[in-house]
Amino acid sequence: MDQTTIIRIVSGLLFLCVIAVGIAYIAFLYSVLNKCAPRSRTMQPGMVWLLLIPLFNVVWNFLVVNALADSLGKEFRLRGVPVDDPKPGKSLGLAMAICSACGIIPIVNLLAIIPQFILWVMYWVKIAGYSRMLDQVPTAIGAPANLL
């Protein structure tokens, strides 16, 4: 095998790994939204899969972050779970989305890629914590609607 073939194989495997991790992340966001009661959701869980659309996902990422923060905030209020943030994960998610959006700007993308990756991991961990909180507290059936 020549060097070009090896580079293509490694690049292809790296690309497939990135796609697999991206799909795992989107499936995770889907599951978190699915844990929220339908009346708490500001976005249907299936809508997060639109993050797979190249370029469109740059804008959609902001909408997913906002919808997830609003949905989690409403769900925690509905279940009577005290949280430190009325819109859980929003500020960290917006920082991640901003760095991600900077990724389409030449030169700036080189500066934004490392912070974007770090913020993405931090956001995933933060939302995972909120997801575990939802797992620990039962759904409030018949809770008053004025909590939302």
Give the span between the Cα atoms of 77 and 60, in whole angstroms. Answer: 26
Q: Which domain holds residue 140?
A: 3-147
Q: What is the pLDDT of residues 13-66, one digit of tens each?
A: 999 999 999 999 999 999 999 999 999 999 999 999 999 999 999 999 999 999
The overall pTM is greater than 0.85: yes
Angle at 95 (CA atoms; ends 18, 81), nearest 5 degrees: 100
Q: How many domains does the chain have?
A: 1
Q: What is the pLDDT of residues 84-109, one digit of tens each?
A: 999 999 999 999 999 999 999 999 99
Q: What is the DSSP string of 70-114?
A: HHHHHHHHHHT---S-SSTTHHHHHHHHHHHHHTTSTTHHHHHHH
Nearest to 147 by CA among 81, 53, 90, 97: 81
